[in-house]
Amino acid sequence: MAEFSRQFAFVSSVLAGFAFAFYGTLLVAAREHRAGAWAAFFAVAASVAFLPVTLGMTFNAVRAANQPREQLSVSTAVADPQIALLSMLFLSGVIFLLASFGISGWMRSRGLGIATTSLSLLGALAVFVALRPFLHAVPAP
């Protein structure tokens, strides 16, 4: 469980840094373009969504490392509402980042906007398919 949390935290921190760097690039590139403003907004939203995942999973890894093996496992994490919240925040961050990518193409041209939007939608579908087995949600009572 500790390794799962460490890897989740690492990936989230990398994506948060990338989203914030993309935000900085968009600020310079899209001074007066409305699509650029929206792309920058979604890049910041992605970075903000990834930050609590990084912190939460880092502290969860510390907790898991200090717990006896039988108390904390991936199967008990499925029932943990904190893990479910962090999973949803992670997915939100990925969607925000992909939305930023999709919108950013519209700053250049209509053709590029269609291409980046299409690729972002395909990417979102691929993310859900690839991550579905690894993300946890708490079943409704």
Convert the pLDDT of each residue in 17-26 to its tens digit.
899 999 988 8
Convert the pLDDT of each residue in 26-71 to its tens digit.
888 766 788 888 999 999 999 999 999 999 998 888 888 877 765 5
How big is the chain by its Cα radius of gyration, in Å? 17
Question: Does the pLDDT at position 77 exceed 60?
Answer: no
The pLDDT confidence band at residue 84, using thresholds 50, 70 and 90, is: confident
Question: Does the pLDDT at position 118 exceed 90?
Answer: yes
Please state, in angstroms and as integers, the Cα–Cα distance from residue 101 to each residue in 37, 60, 64, 81, 128, following that order: 12, 31, 35, 30, 17
- Buried-state track 32-64, b at ≥16 Cβ within 10 A, e below 16: ebebbbbbbbbbbbbbbbbbbbbebbbebbeeb
> How many CB atoms are located within 10 Å of the residue 9 CB?
21
